[in-house]
């Protein structure tokens, strides 16, 4: 979850409302990570022989260090820097290439570099900057806004048409970390004690946490025949670029995974449905069979699961306001589940 830039980023994360407290949280995170200037300049020199005339740091996401760079010749790029040894940009390269082959508006990846400092291994990714602004910042009339979200649904269909091997986060070959959905469910169950301890710290009823975990596991076990497809896994309005009343880019492929299509609708429902109706996204989505009689119930259960991950994410990072927000959504969704 991460809107790192105007052309790409990473999850693990979760998107939180841009309150003053959250901006302070981001500022503290980014203050701890700054790439050596000489290292960055050396790599930029491989991109263009023109001098850099502008370097703006973008503090908008929780995963990567990000810069908006302009060269004297007019070229503009986005530099993203990861310190996560478990995640890298190779999976994004694979997903972006597959999407581009299907005519989707995605960033052009110019290169990936492996470097290190005394403290961390680093991986740097440079992409050509896309035109436009992020959808939540676009000043669109209601009719145009509707058309853009419908278009987002059509583009999401194309992403889901890309086959992958396995489930969970993919690697640079389009292979998920779990061969079967059963293995993915087992990994989730392996975290039950951690979720129960989290419930105790957050003053959640043990019975509620037990019910939530059972609902999630039952849901996962009920869909064993699923063929995994590529999921953006962070498909939200803040990862859609808009220019001239249409989508100019889909960004932030840091969370790409092998899963079922429903997963991407969960993120949209969790973050964006109040401003960008889920029904509009569904309107543009090609496979209407996905929206059968079980769709709403399954979406609801997966929202509860995502609230758990959000609580855990912000609890690990000591961000109390983020924990409280995710806790409130968890309690609300569980109480309203039929």
pLDDT digits over 108-131, tens only?
999 999 998 877 789 999 999 999
DSSP-assigned states of every residue in 13-46: -------HHHHHHHHHHHHT----HHHHHHHHHH
Per DSSP (E only), the strands in the chain are 52-57, 65-71, 76-82, 109-116, 121-128, 133-134, 167-170, 176-178, 229-231, 240-243, 246-250, 257-259
d(CA 175, CA 173): 6
Which CATH number is 134-335 given?
3.90.1200.10
Mean pLDDT (whole number) for 143-170: 97
- The 3-state DSSP class for residue 126 equals strand
Percentage of residues in the chain having pLDDT higher than 90 = 70
Over residues 302-324, mean pLDDT? 91
Q: What contacts 101, CB < 8 A, 6 or more positions away?
A: none
Give domain limits for the chain: 20-130, 134-335
Cα–Cα–Cα angle for 294, 295, 300, rounded to 5 degrees:
105
User: Could you check whether 20-130 and 134-335 share the same CATH topology?
Assistant: no
* Sole residue written with tokens 């869909």: 223
pTM summary value: 0.88
- How sure is the predictor about 170, in pLDDT bands with cuts at 50, 70 and 90? very high
Query: What is the rounded average pLDDT for all residues in the chain?
Result: 89
Residues 10 and 3: their CA atoms lie apart, in Å, by: 8
CATH fold for domain 20-130: Phosphorylase Kinase; domain 1 (3.30.200)
Give the CA distances from residue 159 to residues 103, 192, 285, in Å, rounded to whole numbers and listed in that order: 10, 32, 11
47-87 pLDDT, tens digit each: 999 999 999 998 777 778 899 999 999 999 999 999 887 77
Q: Report d(CA 166, CA 109) in Å as an integer.
A: 25
Using 50, 70 and 90 to split pLDDT, how confident is the model at 179?
A: confident
pLDDT attached to residue 223 = 67
């Amino acid at each position: 979850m991460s809107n790192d830039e105007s052309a790409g980023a990473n999850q693990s994360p979760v998107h939180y409302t841009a309150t003053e407290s959250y901006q302070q949280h981001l500022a503290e995170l980014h203050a701890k990570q700054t790439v050596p200037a000489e290292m960055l300049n050396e790599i930029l020199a491989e991109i263009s022989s023109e001098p850099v005339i502008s370097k703006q740091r973008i503090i908008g996401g929780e995963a990567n260090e990000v810069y908006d760079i302009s060269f004297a010749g007019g070229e503009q790029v986005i530099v993203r820097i990861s310190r996560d040894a478990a995640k890298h940009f190779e999976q994004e390269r694979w997903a972006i290439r597959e999407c581009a082959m299907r005519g989707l508006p995605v960033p052009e990846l110019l290169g990936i570099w492996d470097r290190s400092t005394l403290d961390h291994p680093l991986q740097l990714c440079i992409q050509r900057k896309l035109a436009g602004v992020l959808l939540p910042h676009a000043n669109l009339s209601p009719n145009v806004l509707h058309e853009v979200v419908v278009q987002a649904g059509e583009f999401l269909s194309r992403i889901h048409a890309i086959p992958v091997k396995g489930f969970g986060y993919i690697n640079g070959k389009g292979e998920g970390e779990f061969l079967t959905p059963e293995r993915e469910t087992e990994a989730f169950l392996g975290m039950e004690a951690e979720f129960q301890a989290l419930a105790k710290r957050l003053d959640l009823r043990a019975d509620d946490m037990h019910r939530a975990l059972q609902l999630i596991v039952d849901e996962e076990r009920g869909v064993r025949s699923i063929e995994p497809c590529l999921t953006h896994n962070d498909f939200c309005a803040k990862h859609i670029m808009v220019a001239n009343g249409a989508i100019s880019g889909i960004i932030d492929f840091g969370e790409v995974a092998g899963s079922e299509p429903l997963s991407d609708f969960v993120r949209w429902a969790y973050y964006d449905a109040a401003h960008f109706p889920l029904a509009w996204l569904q309107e543009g989505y090609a496979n209407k069979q996905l929206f059968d009689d079980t769709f709403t119930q399954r979406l609801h259960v997966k929202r509860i699961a995502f609230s758990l991950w959000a609580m855990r994410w912000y609890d690990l990072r000591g961000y109390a306001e983020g924990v409280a927000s995710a806790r409130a959504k968890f309690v609300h969704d569980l109480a309203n589940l039929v």
